[in-house]
Every structure is written in C-alpha cells, then in structure tokens.
Amino acid sequence: MDFSIDMLSVGDADAIILWLKQDGGDFIIFLDGGKPGDGNEVVKHYNAYIKPHLIAKPIMIVINSHPHRDHIGGLPEIINHFGTDIKRVYFNDPLAYINLIQRNLITEYHQKYIANRQINGLYESLKDVDDFKTLLKNYGLTPQPIFSDTNLEHSLFKVLGPSEAFYKQKVQFFTDKTSLERMHQLKEAEEDVNEVEEGNKPCVVVDEKNDTSAENLTSTIIQLTDSSNRRYLFTADSGVDSYESAQNNGFNMKDFHIAQLPHHGSRRNVNTNWICNFNPKQYWVSAAGNKKHPRKAVIECIKKNLPNCKTYSTHKGGSKHINSTTNLFPERGWGSAEPL
C-alpha cells in the first residue's frame, strides 16, 4: 500500500488527510478535523489538491483520535459536507464508560470552577461527544471503536494504542474526585522559557515533565506502512504512558520512517527515551509556533540525539505534504519544506 499525507496548517490543532491506494481503490481518511472552522479548510484542501485527481469516488473514512476541541471541532463541517459519502467513522466514546453519576460530577465541578481551563475543557469535550454522536445519527452513521485490540476488518492502517483496557483505566480519571480537585488547585501560569537553558540542556528540560492529561493519554495511535515497508506514526496528543502501554502489548514502537510529534510538540508528552525510540528520518508537528508549541527543548533534544533527523512544523511554511512513492500520486510543486 502507498499513500499521500497532508498535515494541514491549522495552528495548535490536528487536521490530517491521508489518501491511500490499495488493490486498485482509493481511500480518503480524515484524521481529526482541527478546531471549529478548520473543517471547512480541510474540505477546501481536498477539493483543490485531491479530488481533481480521482478517477472514481473514493471510500471515505473519518477518525477522531480523541474529543478535545482542537481535534474533533472541525469534523462536523467535514461530515456535513460529505454526508453519506463517508462510509465509516472511528472514535472511542468516553461516555460509554462514564455513568450518569460520574457525568453529573463533571458538570458539578464545571459549574463550581467554570474558570478552570482543564475542567472546562473536559466538560466541553463530553458535550462535543454528545453533539458528534447526534450528527452521525442524522446521517445514519454508526461510530465504531478504534482500540488496538479492535478487529478493523481491513489492513489500511494499524492501531497501536490504546487498548480497550488502557482506555477504560484512563477514562476513570476523567471523573475521579481527587483528580478533579487537583485540576482545580493547579494554577496553570504561562511557563517562563529560558532560551539558554533549553539550548544547553534541552533533554533535561524535556525529561522534567511527562504529565499530560488522562484525556490526552487516550488518544488513538495509528501506524501506516508503505510498499517499501517503511512505517509512519501518527500520535495525536498521546503521551509516554501511551507508548509504554503499546510496547507492552507487543507493538514495535521503534524506528519509524516519519513520526508525528505528539500534542503539537509539547514537552509534556515525550521524553528523551521515546524521542530516540521513534528514531524517524523526519518528525512532523502541527503547531502555532508559540513558546510551548513546538517546545524549543523538544526540538533541540531531537537535534542532540538524532542529528540526521529533520523536524518540520506547519507553523513554518504552512501545510506539509509527502507521497510515500513517486509516480503514483500527483506532485504538488510546492518545493522543499524548511526544517526547524
């Protein structure tokens, strides 16, 4: 199998279009849709760069890695545009593992601490899940789970994580009273970035914190493999616990051809060990280009440990595109991307 990858420039959000060819057929996968409004940009990009080169109607698939608004927010626009042309939707529904009492606890904390960004984000995510499922129902689409132990009934991609057991475990932290209290007590001030320290001791800075949220840890991790047996990794907002779980479940988490830096290049989602384990020829990241995303320490740690690996970000030069092989997909003529 071979494919064309477009990582769209939508700031601190993920909107990726995968155009796959297998057994003479075309498949389009919309992997997340960015924030509200970004889905329209995904549709424009598809109509401009992919649709004119399709001979027959492709099979369309939508994947939501996790229901944070910068990943699920633009998907309704994509679904409303393509409607019943979409044949399958994959996403893991946290509400399937949260009972009414737990849901009410989140609502209670949201109302009590409405100014808390993390609690408000969790509340909004579950509301977005409700709205997403209602929209799918309107189009007669039944969402399917996407765990590493789910039988996908096809070989277009492989799910490396999370397993259903790992997902269930992390979802319980969404509604754990102790965790919600901790969210309220944490005062998330903007971090002061010491440019000198991050340049001189980048890996020390990267290894200081790997404390991403339980919601991020439930992100779907996907692998594509091209006809040259090179593997491509899509991480969404997953974190160190996610990779360790996938590895413990027997998946090969080393030596990818191209890997996505998780969570827009945040230092909270990787460490030196996993930067080196992934060991890609290229890292890709969708980011706004602020002091957190992509984090300077992460980029410098990559340079220190993987001197032959280039890192490309959407904030530098816009959307990123690559074909896994020549002469099968049209070239864009965009020119070479500039690494960080």
- Mind giving me the DSSP string for 239-274? -HHHHHHHHHTT---S--SEEEPGGGG-TTS--HHH
Beta bridge partners of 26: 21
Tell me if 340 is assigned to some domain.
no
Tell me if 336 is assigned to some domain.
no
Tell me if 64 is assigned to some domain.
yes
Tell me if 221 is assigned to some domain.
yes
Candidates 219, 62, 85; CA nearest to 133 is: 62
Tell me if 96 is assigned to some domain.
yes
For residue 191, the model assigns a pLDDT of: 60
Residues 265, 311: Cα–Cα separation, whole Å? 10
For residue 117, the model assigns a pLDDT of: 85
Domain count, the chain: 1
User: The domain containing residue 110 runs over which residues?
Assistant: 2-323
Tell me if 185 is assigned to some domain.
yes
For residue 41, the model assigns a pLDDT of: 98
How confident is the prediction along the chain (340 residues), in pLDDT tens digits per residue? 999 999 999 999 999 999 999 998 999 999 999 999 999 999 999 999 999 999 999 999 999 999 999 999 999 999 999 999 999 999 999 999 999 999 999 999 899 888 788 888 999 999 999 999 999 999 999 999 999 999 999 999 999 999 999 999 999 999 888 778 877 676 544 566 777 788 889 999 999 977 789 999 999 999 999 999 999 999 999 999 999 999 999 999 999 999 999 999 999 999 999 999 999 999 999 999 998 999 999 999 999 999 999 999 999 999 999 999 999 999 999 999 999 9
pTM of the shown model = 0.96
Tell me if 112 is assigned to some domain.
yes
Task: Output the domain CATH number for residue 147.
Answer: 3.60.15.10
